[in-house]
Amino acid sequence: MRASSVAVSLLVASFAGAILASACRTTEGDTIPRSLPGVYEYDAAGRAFGHPWSFHVALELRRDGRYEMITESDIDGDRDRDTDSGRYIVRDGIVYLSKGGSDRVDTDDAHRLDIRGDSLRADMPWVANAALRLAGASKPILVRRRRIGD
């Protein structure tokens, strides 16, 4: 159970929050593509060291440059739900999520999500990727489930 807990914890830590809008310009980012705002989700489940686990992330990128991210995990019946919020910017095809209430996004400290069509791919350290593979999780790719209207 410890390995699956570590893997899920690494995944949660690798995602952070931030969101932006369509056709807006932030003080530090590019114009936000009109197609970007929406709800993106990631689901994973498996069994590690005899313990079942599941993980769900729902990331809502709003037009005003803010995001809300809900993470739900269940490790062998031990359930947890967290909600994070913050700001995001887009620069060179990458969404940078910054947790908290600051109006600025420091790209050095922000979590990165590469924009790939209707998906966002988490840019994670190799250690986190290895932990995910060990726990049997797929690569953290958030797929758009719902678009926020123009």
Residue, of 69 and 19, whose pLDDT is higher: 69
The 3-state DSSP class for residue 11 equals helix
Could you tell me the pLDDT band of residue 149, with boundaries at 50, 70 and 90? low
Least confident of 87-91, 114-118, 137-141: 137-141
- In terms of Cβ atoms closer than 10 Å to its own Cβ (0-12, 13-18, 19+), residue 76 is middle
SS3 string, 58-82, reads EEEECCCCEEEEEEEEEECCEEEEE
Domain that holds residue 104: 2-147
Query: Which pLDDT score is estimated for 135?
Result: 76
Give me the CATH number covering residue 109: 2.40.128.640
Domain tally, the chain: 1
The pLDDT of residue 107 is 83
CA 141 to chain centre: 8
Query: Average pLDDT, stretch 75-100?
Result: 92
Give tens-digit pLDDT for 59-72. Answer: 999 988 899 999 99
Neighbours of 92 (CB within 10 A): 8
pLDDT at position 6 is 42
The whole-angstrom separation of Cα 133 and Cα 36 is: 28
pLDDT value at 117 more than 60: yes
Helices (H), 35-149: 126-135
Global pTM?
A: 0.74
